[in-house]
Amino acid sequence: MQTGKTPTLAGCLRNCQAVAEFAQKYGSKIAVIPAGERWEDGTLRLAYEDLIGAGAILSYLHGSFSPEAEIAVSAFHAVNKNLLAYFKKSSSGKELIARGFESDVEIATALNVSDCVPLFVKNAYVKQIV
C-alpha cells in the first residue's frame, strides 16, 4: 500500500470512535474506504459489514459529508440497535456461521470495545492509543 505522507488507519466497529477521533487530529478532509473482499476469481465483492463499519466511523466525525458518506452513516444508524442480528443475516455472516465461526461474528459486532488505532507505518500497522 502506498499512501505517502497521508496517514492510513484501520478501523471497524470495535474501534470506530477511537479511529474517528484519532483521524480528526490530522485535518478536516478524511476519506473512509470500506474494504470489501476478493472473490476467488479476483473480482471485488462489496461487503455489507464494511459499509456498516465505515458508517460507524463516519458517525463520530464532525463536518460535512459526501453523499456516499451520508448513506454509510444512515446504514449504520439503521442497524446500530441490533448489529449482531443484522450481521448474522448478511451473506458474510451466514458464511462464517456455516463454517463454525459464529463467535467471530459476535466479536466483530462489539461496538467501541477497543481504543486501539492501527496506523500504517513503514509497511506495518502500529498500535496507537487515543
Q: Which residues contact 50 (CB under 8 A, 6 or more apart)?
A: 34, 35, 36
Q: Averaged over 44-48, what is the pLDDT?
A: 85
* C-alpha angle 35-77-53 in degrees, rounded to nearest 5: 20
Cα–Cα distance measured from residue 51 to residue 57, given in angstroms and rounded to the nearest whole number: 10
Report, in this order, helix, strand and coil percent for the chain, each rounded to 5: 50, 15, 40
What are the structural domains of the chain?
13-113 (3.90.1560.10)
Cα–Cα distance measured from residue 61 to residue 38, given in angstroms and rounded to the nearest whole number: 28
Q: Averaged over 112-127, what is the pLDDT?
A: 91
**pTM, full prediction:** 0.90
